[in-house]
Structure 1
Amino acid sequence: MSLELYAAYVLACIVIILVPGPTVTLIIANSIRHGSRAGLANVAGTQAGLAVMIAIVGIGLNTLISGMGHWFEWVRLIGAAYLI
């Protein structure tokens, strides 16, 4: 990999990290327009939504693993063999 290509990659990564996402943009816009109380309400709402999403994913994965039964043991063993 050339130095120029690596520098362009690092620069692109830095730009992607520094650009705020849609949630941050919404929180900032609402805080400017409606005050800090509305901004804090947006933060609470986004964090509650994230917690609900994580819980739903956890329940779904638990159901999937429970439904797989003995197949999950094989997948686990194959994954361990791959890591070794």
Structure 2
Amino acid sequence: MAIKVSPQSFESMRKVMNGFWIVVPAYLLISLVMPFLLVLAALLLVAHTLELPIAFLRLRGKNLPTMEVVSKTLLYGFTWWLPKSLEAK
């Protein structure tokens, strides 16, 4: 599977990474006080990783960049790809 790079996918990744660099350090600092949050983060990462094949199947005809599908599925899970898959073509 080739990764499609376009200005749209680059802009999308830039927005995702901006949020990533704000949320992750804050989350790690909070998890020092509440360690159960690390377990929760690990469970969410595993769950969202397992959603990737389903997301690719559902979004196959949408012609979306691979990096966008991967990054947004890992961050938002099915709340991102399910509505996107139901949009009219």
- TM-score calculated relative to the size of structure 2: 0.33
Say which structure, 1 or 2, has more relative contact order (CA 8 Å, 6+ apart): 2
Larger helix proportion, structure 1 or 2? 1
Instruction: Find the structure with the greater CA-based Rg.
Output: 1
- TM-score calculated relative to the size of structure 1: 0.34
